[in-house]
């Protein structure tokens, strides 16, 4: 028996852009559209209008020539920027959408948790959707019943299990969807951004379940922007960029390649005609991924038309856009330093940063303190905190308190 769980060869997917988003359709709607479609096409032809969707919209390749093999029991993290094709790949592997070119072979039962709303019928109750999902996975009713109580306990929505899921909140929906995908024992589990929705307790619960699934020898593919989770759960990784595989290797190599791309991509150029001074560019010059309690270094270039006293400030935000801190290099906040005519370069090092795992952005402000902003660039630099390790000050996670995105190390000494 082959040890290959997933084999993908020259997989490509093309989408039309600019088309209308279709609403949820009943069987009646589908039949009505099928009957009316020839008459609509004839009417457009007589009026000299476009008769096909291809004439109405442009196209884009979400995936292009993807080839890879995943063995049974491997846990593969898929990383990349938004729009890189990560979710599209999982949808094709889940048989939700078909590829435009190439093919994918799946050897084993597949359970998937993609975007909220995928896989459940909104008119059915939570109970009915559990049985429906199990049947789709090829499971017998006895198997589903054996896992039913465990699934419901995991979701913590027992009171609403006989309520149609269209009335569920997004959090309730996700809890049920994840529980079904993880507990019905699929041989291959596909998960897309499970940490994007839900509170911290639920996220921790999901990660624990994924770890258990991996330890049981099942194959897991999951998409996440949370590099710490990717590094801790995965054995291998795939780095996608603009629909193509840039790196498919061990997880450390993939994260390094992704971090390097973030560093290369974090070069923001802005030209503001008529401004006396403005931020021309900004770039991270240290690694684009750090550990908790490490420093980050970036370079900022400011163009000035003449000699000018200004202040250059940075602002740090987490992946949810929440401000965490701000600062001013070289001088105290509110003080000024002198720009010369032309390009002025500044090398800024911030840290040690007591940050938790996740993605962060830096925004930049150029201003004359207390008078006016001359230039402002939001979220121009991005970096990731991969994991929490023993920091430069000797603090470990066993003696640290996490508040949101910030970790505050502490020590307790007994008093004799």
243 and 289 both lie in a single domain: no
pLDDT band of residue 13 (cuts 50, 70, 90) is very high
343 and 376 both lie in a single domain: yes
Closest CA to 197 of 230, 171, 232: 171
What is the reported pLDDT for 266?
58
**Distances in whole angstroms, Cα of residue 40 to Cα of each of 43, 223, 304:** 5, 41, 60
More confidently predicted of 246 and 136? 246
Query: Chain-centre distance of CA 17, in angstroms?
Result: 22
Check pLDDT > 50 for residue 391. Answer: no
What is the reported pLDDT for 247?
92
Give dist(CA 322, CA 404) in Å, integer: 10
Which of 261, 296, 328 corresponds to the end of one domain? 261
In a domain, 336, yes or no: yes
243 and 292 both lie in a single domain: no
Q: How many CB atoms lie within 10 A of CB 143?
A: 14
120 and 238 both lie in a single domain: yes
Q: Helix (H, G, I), strand (E, B), or coil: what is residue 157?
A: coil
Q: Helix (H, G, I), strand (E, B), or coil: what is residue 26?
A: coil
In a domain, 26, yes or no: no
327 and 238 both lie in a single domain: no
Q: Helix (H, G, I), strand (E, B), or coil: what is residue 325?
A: strand
Q: What CATH number is given to the structural domain containing 82?
A: 3.40.50.300
In a domain, 46, yes or no: no
Place of tokens 């032809």: 45
145 and 193 both lie in a single domain: yes
In a domain, 398, yes or no: yes
305 and 227 both lie in a single domain: no
Give the mean pLDDT of the chain: 76
In a domain, 54, yes or no: no
What is the reported pLDDT for 303?
86
What is the reported pLDDT for 39?
65
Rg (CA), the chain: 26
315 and 242 both lie in a single domain: no
pLDDT band of residue 394 (cuts 50, 70, 90) is very low
189 and 302 both lie in a single domain: no
For residue 322, give its domain range.
285-403
pLDDT band of residue 306 (cuts 50, 70, 90) is confident
- pTM score over 0.85: no
pLDDT band of residue 1 (cuts 50, 70, 90) is low
In a domain, 331, yes or no: yes
257 and 292 both lie in a single domain: no
85 and 208 both lie in a single domain: yes
Report how many domains make up the chain.
2
pLDDT tens digits, 264-289 = 555 555 555 556 888 888 888 877 77
pLDDT tens digits, 375-390 = 878 778 888 787 655 4
Q: What CATH number is given to the structural domain containing 335?
A: 2.70.50.60
In a domain, 39, yes or no: no
pLDDT tens digits, 80-102 = 877 788 889 998 998 888 999 99
In a domain, 250, yes or no: yes
Q: Residue 376 burial (CB < 10 Å; 0-12/13-18/19+)?
A: middle
CB 191 within 8 A of CB 223: yes
124 and 254 both lie in a single domain: yes
């Amino acid at each position: 028996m082959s040890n290959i769980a997933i084999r993908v060869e020259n997989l490509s997917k093309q989408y039309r852009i600019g088309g209308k988003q279709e609403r949820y359709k009943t069987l009646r709607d589908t039949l009505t559209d099928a009957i009316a479609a020839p008459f609509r096409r004839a009417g457009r032809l007589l009026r000299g209008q476009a008769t096909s969707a291809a004439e109405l919209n442009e196209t884009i390749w979400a995936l292009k020539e993807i080839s890879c093999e995943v063995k049974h029991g491997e846990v593969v993290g898929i990383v990349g920027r938004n729009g890189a094709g990560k979710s599209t790949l999982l949808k094709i592997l889940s048989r939700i959408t078909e590829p435009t070119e190439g093919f994918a072979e799946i050897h084993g039962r597949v359970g998937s948790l993609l975007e909220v709303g995928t896989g459940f019928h909104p008119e059915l109750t939570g109970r009915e959707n559990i049985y429906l999902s199990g049947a789709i996975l090829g499971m017998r009713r006895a198997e589903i019943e054996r896992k039913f109580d465990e699934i419901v306990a995991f979701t913590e929505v027992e009171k609403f299990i006989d309520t149609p899921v269209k009335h569920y909140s997004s959090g309730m929906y996700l809890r049920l969807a994840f529980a079904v995908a993880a507990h019905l024992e699929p041989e291959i589990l596909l998960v897309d951004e499970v940490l994007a929705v839900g509170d911290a307790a639920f996220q921790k619960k999901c990660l624990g379940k994924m770890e258990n699934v991996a330890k049981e020898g099942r194959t897991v593919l999951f998409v996440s922007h949370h590099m710490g989770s990717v590094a801790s759960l995965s054995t291998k990784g795939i780095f996608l960029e603009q629909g193509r595989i840039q790196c498919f290797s061990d997880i450390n190599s993939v994260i390094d390649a992704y971090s390097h791309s973030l560093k290369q991509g974090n070069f923001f150029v802005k030209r503001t005609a008529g401004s006396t001074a403005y931020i021309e560019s900004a770039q991270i010059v240290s690694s684009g991924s750090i550990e908790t309690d490490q420093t980050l270094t970036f370079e900022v270039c400011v163009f000035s038309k003449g000699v000018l006293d200004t202040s250059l400030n940075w602002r740090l935000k987490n992946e949810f856009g929440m401000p965490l801190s701000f600062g001013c290099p070289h001088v105290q906040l509110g003080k000024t330093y002198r720009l010369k005519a032309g390009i002025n370069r500044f090398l800024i090092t911030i840290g040690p940063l007591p940050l938790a795992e996740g993605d962060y952005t830096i925004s930049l402000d150029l201003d004359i303190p207390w008078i006016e902003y001359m230039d402002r660039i939001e979220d121009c630099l991005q970096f990731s905190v991969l994991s929490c390790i023993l920091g430069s000050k000797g603090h470990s996670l066993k003696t640290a308190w996490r508040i949101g995105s910030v970790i505050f190390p502490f020590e307790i000494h007994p008093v004799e």
